[in-house]
Amino acid sequence: MRICLYGSGSRKIDKKYTDDAYELGRIMAKYGHTLVFGGGDTGMMGACAKGVHNNDGKSIGIAPEWIGDFEPLCEECSEFIYVDTMDERKNKFVENSDAFIISPGGIGTLDEFFEIITLKKLKQHDKKIIVFNIDGFYNKMLEMIDEMSEKGFLYKQEELYQIANDLNEIEEYLKTNALD
């Protein structure tokens, strides 16, 4: 399965997050899944990619060439797809992925997360989405989404995403192919 990871490329992330991202990559490689990601060599993306590559896994990086002005690109990718814009990048994530994992990140990650769940809500895809809520990183955002629903701004007609609070929960999804 090709699994897209959304997550920060920041170099300032606490090691507890990047350690979990590395382990996520190791687990993906262990079960033969391919990482699809933004192609960055740092932060959550870079740590997960290192976990994949150090364990003989495969990866597909997707990024505009100019993103290298902001963060280094991963050179170990099995395949790299260059695009012109961030919108094209997000479209390529959807085209090239069977499932999505949202790890801790910043504004770009939130943009990707809300777009992918909106597309699922609008029935533009039916792919599994997992929020990797390391150390409760997304608790406040998830509470806000619940409040939006309670106040009638969102319809909870179906489950749009699942939450995994630790690596054991993620591994259960990956080893049983519950993301299919």
pLDDT, one tens digit per residue, over 40-77 is 999 999 999 999 999 999 999 999 989 888 888 999 99
pLDDT at 70: 84
| Tokens describing residue 6 | 């959304």
Average pLDDT, the chain: 93
pLDDT-derived band at 157, boundaries 50, 70, 90: low
pLDDT at 24: 97
pLDDT at 146: 87
pLDDT at 177: 64
- What average pLDDT score do residues 110-129 get? 94
pLDDT at 156: 65
- What average pLDDT score do residues 27-47 get? 96
